[in-house]
Structure formats: C-alpha cells, structure tokens
Amino acid sequence: MLFQKSKAAIRDVWQVVGLRGTGSDTYTVTDLFVPTRYTFVRESPADRREDGPLYRFTSYQLYGAGFAGVALGIARATLDAFIAMSGKVPALASKALRESAVVQSRIAIAEAQWRSSRAFLMETLDAMWKIASRGEALELQQRAALRLAAVHAIHQCREVVETAYHLAGGPAIFEKERFERRMRDMHTVAQQVQSQFINFEMAGQVLLGFPSSSKLI
C-alpha cells in the first residue's frame, strides 16, 4: 500500500539497546483512502510489476538474508578489532594476548565459524539467485535452506562477537573502544524474529520431509 509520507504520523519509539542508527520508528494513519491502483501484495505473482530475480524473493527471505548480512559485518569488525589490539599486554600479565594458547585457539575457532557461516549463506543465495534469474519458482527445499543458512549465520556470529568481546577483557566495556556497541548491536540482531531458534525447527521439518505452512519459509 503506497501513500504520501505526510499522511502518516511518525512516532519516535526506537529507544533500544542496539542498532539505534536504524531509526526503526512506527507510524499511524487515520481515515486515509488509498486507491486500488496503489495497493498490492508483494508476495503475489499476480501483483508483481517487476519480474527481475530480486522480486521473486519474499520479504521474509530478504529480511532473513539481510539480518544475516548485518550479523556477519558486525562479527567481522569485532573479530578484526580484537586481532588489532591483541598485541597488548594485559594488567598483571607477562605476555601479550596473542601469545596465549587459549587466545590463539579461540580466535581460530571464531574465524572458522565466521568463514563457514558466510560461505553457507553465500552458496545458498547464489544457487537461489540462479534459479530466480531463470524465471523459475523457488521450491520449499531451497527456501528452507536459506532460512537455515541465515539463522545459522546469526547464531554463529553472536558467538564470534562474544568470543572477541570477552577475550578483549576490561577495555571492551568502554564506549571509546570498538567492542561494546558491536556487542549491543549483535545481540539486538539476535533478538529479531529471523534469529529465533524456531527457525531451526522450521528448516528441520522440511529436511525431515514434513510440509511447512509457515510464511517465514
């Protein structure tokens, strides 16, 4: 449904712990008539005005992939920030963070988590994009794969951010550092519907041969 922004009353409700910069406010509209030609259902093939591959993806699929992309970006930046400061020697320690066997192992695992989850998501999106580019419908198995890849990436990225944050120690809590805001942003991403654990259940149902009636798939 399309109408002029001036017809809506926007309310500033986005007072949140993380992702503050998105400005995701809400709005209300009262007694507004919208002509039929300005109304449509995005997911309906009959209402589709543009037949390009992007528009063959549903809103929920785009949101899932989008939030996964945000999570991957936050995790990459947080991991890189820790690596950049790992040459520091903590208080009461005799060697730099990066010389610790625990730190070395944890960072290696975090790097593997980030790379593998990104690869899974990109591989899935690439396959679906090729199908959509041929004008073919995205089947249930493919849609479930995207749901799985997206929620998996977000959960893995949360672990990556938590690893880097905790390894950074005390300095991570200061606003001037590069960790506390990303920690808040990552956990805000992980609170969205696209990140909820039920997404694994929906993907698992399809993998096990059950039908799915959820619009998230």
Q: What is the pLDDT of residues 175-198, one digit of tens each?
A: 998 899 999 999 999 999 999 999
Among residues of the chain, what percentage have pLDDT more than 70?
A: 99
Whether the CB-CB separation of 142 and 129 falls below 8 Å is answered with no
62/90 same-domain check: yes
Q: Per the domain annotation, does 211 fall within a domain?
A: no
199/175 same-domain check: yes
23/62 same-domain check: no
Whether the CB-CB separation of 206 and 144 falls below 8 Å is answered with yes
Name the residue among 198, 194, 202 with its Cα closest to residue 144: 202
Name the band, by pLDDT with cuts 50, 70 and 90, for residue 213.
low
116/19 same-domain check: no
Q: Per the domain annotation, does 20 fall within a domain?
A: yes
64/91 same-domain check: yes
pLDDT digits (tens, 9 = 90+) for 4-39: 999 999 999 898 889 988 888 899 999 999 998 898
Q: Per the domain annotation, does 216 fall within a domain?
A: no
Amino acid at 7: K
63/161 same-domain check: yes
Is the confidence at residue 161, as pLDDT, over 80? yes
Structural domains of the chain, count = 2
138/35 same-domain check: no
Whether the CB-CB separation of 25 and 15 falls below 8 Å is answered with no
pLDDT digits (tens, 9 = 90+) for 39-95: 888 888 888 888 899 999 999 999 999 999 999 999 999 999 999 999 999 887 889
Task: Outline where 19-138 has alpha helix (H).
Answer: 59-85, 101-133
Q: What is the CATH number of the domain that holds 21?
A: 2.40.110.10
Q: Per the domain annotation, does 154 fall within a domain?
A: yes
113/164 same-domain check: yes
Q: Per the domain annotation, does 89 fall within a domain?
A: yes
91/195 same-domain check: yes
63/132 same-domain check: yes
92/131 same-domain check: yes
71/25 same-domain check: no
Name the residue among 186, 185, 195 with its Cα closest to residue 64: 195
Q: Residues near 72 by Cβ (< 8 Å), separated by ≥ 6?
A: 114, 117, 118, 121, 153, 157
Q: What domain range includes position 110?
A: 53-203
Q: What is the CATH number of the domain that holds 136?
A: 1.20.140.10
Specify the 3-state DSSP secondary structure of 37.
helix
Q: Per the domain annotation, does 47 fall within a domain?
A: no
